[in-house]
Amino acid sequence: MNRLLDFRKPLILASASPRRRQLLSQLNLEFEVRVARIDEEKLARGLQPRDYVMKLAQSKAAAIARDAGDAWVIGADTIVVLDNNIINKPADADEACAMLRRLSGRTHQVYSGFAIIDAGTGASLADYRRTDVEFRELDEDEIRDYVAGGSPLDKAGAYGIQDDFGAVFVREVRGCYYNVVGLPLELLYRRLRECLTTGITAE
């Protein structure tokens, strides 16, 4: 148990992502996982990337907070952005290959947003972080072999940087590495400590 993050009330992660679950566990927190079902495309249509991830994170957390009693709820969302176009999870293998071809030899941005809601009071805040990721030039056989393994199909941008062959596509990361995995861990930790000190206050 992390004595610096002692909430004295239940903590819920509103995410199905095993990667976010693992990252939050690194803070030595006890938490429950509940999956929020929301219409992401409808909620975030037309928003800029930073607003997109914070809006969806807030919506996921709010969906769980409605039945969470006096718990604190954390929601999160991650997207890949190339040339100001948002790239989410691929629908199938062909789309995953197409995404990786677009990212090949280019620098893209990864945005991860999170929201914290006190279900007991309704108070909430949201924040985000951006990381630049540079890909080397990818060979077609690399792309097809990677996609055939199935790993890219549940990941924004069709690749994973952690414990995954997709890591060898990445030449350089500029910014928070954990943000690319799915949760800006340092920023979340600071915000949680601030919330415990001053309460949840939206900026």
User: Which residues are annotated as catalytic?
Assistant: 77
Residues 126, 76 contacting (CB under 8 angstroms)? no
User: Quick one: CA dihedral 105, 82, 173, 160, positive or negative?
Assistant: negative
Q: Which residues, in sequence order, are bridge partners of residue 117?
A: 73, 124
Kindly state the tokens that stand for 65.
Answer: 């907070």
Residues 202, 126 contacting (CB under 8 angstroms)? yes
26: CB partners within 8 A, 6+ apart: 185
How many CA atoms are closer than 13 Å to the CA of 136, on its beta-carbon side? 12
